Structure formats: structure tokens, C-alpha cells
Structure 1
């Protein structure tokens, strides 16, 4: 146990120092991911590394660091930083509390299928992969690991909200909610919000900010984006992309949720998953006019219980014919 704690601490220090190194080399206007006092930041990182339940937070923080690191102008410096980053990700993946790895796999229904997807990108177009997912299917883990393997920037709600916060300041960050249940507001707050957003709700402001962000990024870089109505936004702006939806049987998703959240009952897990899926269904319909999770709305639909985390990543790479890209990256 003592060795494990020391390893966690060493990893936390390495993550903190990598963030500092990227900021130093880049002088990023977005600021550091871990901007507080060193000891407090390291302690917080250690707590997240100790808890499998908080692995999504570490994943998003690492995604922010890697997104910035990939913009370092000097090739050798960028290479050295990314090697350190990759080593950190590999060490975290080996931890019992690290990123989920194959834990959605159901051997009983595992059966590999291959499909060829026609190339739709013209010369000069950036590769953009939009991933929708049902709650508990391992979609975020798949998206993050896929982005890492393809050396693409990764954007999920946590990463994008942090980008908006750092770009526009703390006050603007109040608008970057996550399309969650609306909180009750008093009349004064309602009037203030009405004036601030010209009559738009904070959810509408976030949708328009997200649309602008994705369209701008599509002109600049390859990336993977989780949810955020990205497939519909890019379609409406005539931007080529690949849309993927990942899910798994509810029973397996509940089991996985319980494996990660030890203090939750099966009934609570089931209710949480169902409520999250209903919320996604409702907001997706409202902002896109489409039905969330409907197979015909996506290029590829994957049952992650059939392949697991690693298997799903390998499947996507094969289906999108990205094997050569991966080979080039690991040379």
C-alpha cells in the first residue's frame, strides 16, 4: 500500500510539472490547468488518482494539457513533452483506479464485425470524429484513448467548459453549464440573466458558443468531440465529419456503473442511467430536431459490450481505415 501511495504521489507530481512545463514552453494565453498552490494541486490530483470514480476529471485535465502541448512550435520540444505525456497516461492506465480498460466487455456477445466507410474528406479537410454515447457504456474512455492514439485533440464537456472559462473569465463561465437540470432562480437573477444574454437562456448561449467553437476548430485541426450536438452542428455548417454512437445493454451499463461507484445501490444506478439518457434524448431533440441514439443518424453504431474499450478503439481505427496513420505516429 505504501508503494502504491508513493507511485500515486510521483504521478501527481509528474502531471503537475508537465502542466507547468507546457505553460512555460507555450506561454499559453489560456493559462495553466493546475494554477493553484503546488501542494494543494498535487494533493487534489492524488485524490483523483486514488478514486476510479474521478478518473473522468483526470482524463479531462490531461486532455487540456495535451491539447496545448500539441501546439508547441518547436518539434523536438513538442516531441519530448508528448513522450512524457504518453508515459503518464500509460502509468495511469495501469493503476487499479485508472482509466477503464475493457470493463464493458461481455464475452458472450463479443463478435467482431468489419465495415468499410467511404472516404468523404477532401484534401485539406481536417479529420473530425463526433462521438455520442449512452450513460455508462465507456464512451468517454473510448473517445479519450482514441484521440490519444491518433494524436488528435479531445474535447468533452469538461474540456470545453474549461476552455470557455479561461477564455472569457469566471463570470462568463457561469453560463457554461452542461445542459443539466435547470436550477430555480429568483426574480432578480432572472432579470440579470435576461439582460446579460439578451433574453437567451444560459443553455442557448452555451449552444451558440459551442457551435462557434466547433466551426472554428474544424478549420484549424483534427479533433474528437464527445456529444455537444457536434454532429448536427457540423452537418448544418456543411463540415465533413464522422459520427459515431456508442452504447451497451442497460444491464451491463448498470453493472459497470456499480463497479466504478461503490457507494451506489443497483436501483440508484439504474435510475441515474435512465435519467441521463432521457436528458440527452430531450436536449438533443430540442437543439437538433433529431432523435438521439437513433442508428440512422450516425455513420457507425457500436455496442461496446461486444468489444470492450480497447476492442472498440481498434474497431473504429479499422473501420475508418486509419491503420496507416497509427503506424506513422508510432514510428
Structure 2
């Protein structure tokens, strides 16, 4: 994907990672793909879009990671793919859509193991956004008009799902700093500050190249 820059954003729930991705994309004049990745994967694979929504970043306990990735090389029309559980089909279709988009355009991608899918691409830059739990509780409680207790429960449940999904389908550990090019605390730097820091780091990376 020579010439393309793809910023992948992993995020704790309530850290503002999606908003950061959208603002960053707007300032860079490129597209931001979040739920749109599901639409693209459904279109390319022919799998019903509702199934992508249902299995989106949800953990699984069936089969082995190695079996899934071995099957990936067989393609959608293979018998092996046809016999796979739907959650694996959904993941592999997303994996394929992420790689395809990266070859076609510069963009921002939020979640869905995009950093892992693009780990071999020189133009990829992986970011993880986090924040203190108290600040995330305030953000989610305000945004969805929830009690602090309900917001806390939603945060913990969502983070657990994202971690389980990521850890299962990749060879890395979700939220572990060593797995990303840049980790930012949105509770400290704010949304705008995180956007500016990512832009600065991209400039430094491109200068080094």
C-alpha cells in the first residue's frame, strides 16, 4: 500500500477513541471506518450485515486461533470456510476488508483488530486510547444518561468483551503498550490533545522514513 497511511485506533470503552478517530480523519482529509468496516465486510463477503452487528467485537470460546488463520487462506468459496462457525466467518471477512481498504486508501480504522490485520504494512500506525475509570464513567453516564453504577457496569462488560475478542484472534494482548506504536491517556490530554499528538507522531514517523 505504498503511499497510504492507515491509523488504527484501539480504545477502552468510554475513552473517546471513536471521537478521536473521527476528528483525526476529518483534519487529515481522509475517511474514518468504524461500523463502516462491518458494511464493507458484509458487501465483500456476501454475509448478512446483521450477523456482523451481532458478532461485532464479541468474544468466542470455540475452535483454535491457528485453525481459524489456516482456514483464512482458503477463501470464502472453500468447503473449509463454509463449515466454519459464523463468528469466525465474520472475523475473517472483516480481516479481509481491512486489508483491502488499506491497499485502496489512506484512512483511520477504529477497533476490530485492525492493528493486527495491518501489522505487516509499513504505512500503518497503531494507537491505543485509554483513560482513568472515573473519567470514563462520567463520559458514559453523561452520554447515555446512566447512573454511575450502570455506566461502570457497561464499561467493564464492554472492555472485557473487547479484550477477549482481541486476545483470542490475535497474537497480542489488548491494551498492552508494547503492542502499539502510541498509547494516549485521553483523560489527561483530552480529545483535541490526543488528535494533535497523533498528528505530531505521524509527522515524526514520516520524517524518519
If the TM-score is normalised by the length of the shorter chain, which range does it land in?
0.7 to 0.9
Whose strand proportion is higher, 1 or 2?
2
Counterpart of 1:248?
131
Q: Which runs of 4+ in 1 moved over 6 A?
A: none
Whole-angstrom distance in 2 between the partners of 1:200 and 1:245: 31
Q: How does 1:25-174 map to 2 (within 5 A)?
A: 124-156=2-34, 158-166=35-43, 172-174=48-50
What are structure 2's unaligned runs of at least 5 residues? 61-78
TM-score if structure 2 supplies the norm length?
A: 0.80
What are structure 1's unaligned runs of at least 5 residues? 1-121, 183-194, 325-331
8 Å CA contact 1:130, 1:244 repeated in 2: yes
TM-score if structure 1 supplies the norm length?
A: 0.52
8 Å CA contact 1:285, 1:291 repeated in 2: yes
Q: Does 1:227 align with 2:111?
A: yes
1:141-195 CA distance string (max 9 Å, x none): 0000100110112111x212223445566x622432313378xxxxxxxxxxxx9
Whole-angstrom distance in 2 between the partners of 1:292 and 1:274: 14
8 Å CA contact 1:176, 1:202 repeated in 2: no
1:289 Cα deviation after fit:
2.5
8 Å CA contact 2:116, 2:170 repeated in 1: yes
Give the number of aligned pairs.
184
8 Å CA contact 1:175, 1:205 repeated in 2: no
Q: Does 1:304 align with 2:186?
A: yes
Higher Cα Rg, which structure: 1
1:240-282 CA distance string (max 9 Å, x none): 21110001000100011111111x2211110110111111111
Counterpart of 2:167?
285
More RCO (CA 8 Å, sep 6+)? 2
